[in-house]
Amino acid sequence: MPLYQVVVLAVVQGVTEFLPVSSTAHLVLVPWIFGWKDPGLAFDMALHLGTLAAVAAYFVKTWLRLLFLAFGRRALPARATEPDHDLYSNPRLFWYLVAATVPAGVAGLALESYIETTWRSPLVIGSMMIVIAGVLWWSERIGRFDKDLGRMTLADSLAVGAAQALALAPGVSRSGITMAAALVRGVNRTAAARFSFLLSTPIIAGAVAKEALDLVRQGLPAGMAAPFAVGIVVSGLSGYLVIAFFIRFLQTRTFNIFIWYRLVCGIIILALAIFFRDPVATP
């Protein structure tokens, strides 16, 4: 696998995993546009491992604070100006995150065969890009934006967790649908992004664990050691930078630019699927 393809796909994964634009859609579309071959399981695992490292590194203090608070202790106290200051008003948030992880985990196990085959149709991907653009638009219009993480309830968390299960359909965007659900529940944009990213950690970790088991059975293909390492580093660095950028972006901006992007991208994917060859079928 050429190094330039490794870098491009790793950047695409790192950027689109955390923005509400669907990493699956882009990782299908980009290789098809350039006529690249499927990089395979090993590289897919490398990309997920990189984004897992990015979100874990960015939120390491947050996770430690949540874990200690869950057991009745305060650790690494956050200053009033830090985003994590709101955590101390909600010591049960760690358990809410645990509960919110369950729907997507159950759905993933139940629907695995559809996720990897039938649902990877470009018609599904393009349609979901457009549909979720509409969902994001609707959530922006009805959201109250008056809750931070300190005010999130178990019901809020379960609603976001249930929405995350819908992201198993390619093109939906895990971050997009979970943030939209949080906005509908009255959560402000920045808190919605933080909760979404925290919730992504166990889901991405689960995907990495499954891919690791499959890779152990198959073994690392010859010549994939360097792409594997570069994929981890590039997707991790780009993912970390995108998380930091996006949280700052939402402090003063809306989701509108991503809504328009999804609409345009969805229309392009549908047009390619209808008038040209199927990108998923490209070897």
Task: Give the pLDDT score at 113.
Answer: 56
pLDDT over 70 (residue 277): no
Summarised one tens digit per residue, pLDDT across range 220-275 is 777 788 888 999 999 999 999 999 999 999 999 999 999 999 999 999 888 888 88
Confidence of residue 281 (pLDDT cuts 50, 70, 90): very low
Summarised one tens digit per residue, pLDDT across range 92-128 is 999 999 999 998 777 666 655 555 555 567 888 899 9
Detail the DSSP E strand segments found in 146-265: none
Task: Give the pLDDT score at 27.
Answer: 85
What is the spatial distance between Cα 47 and Cα 53, in angstroms, rounded to a whole number?
Answer: 10
CA R_g for the chain: 19
Return left, alpha or beta for 169; rule: phi > 0 is left, psi -120 to 50 is alpha, else beta. beta
The mean pLDDT of 5-13, rounded to a whole number, is 95
Q: Determine the 3-state secondary structure of 273 from DSSP.
A: helix
pLDDT over 90 (residue 87): yes
Q: The pTM is what?
A: 0.89
What is the spatial distance between Cα 18 and Cα 240, in angstroms, rounded to a whole number?
Answer: 9
N-to-C CA span, the chain:
14
Task: Give the pLDDT score at 78.
Answer: 80
What is the spatial distance between Cα 154 and Cα 23, in angstroms, rounded to a whole number?
Answer: 28
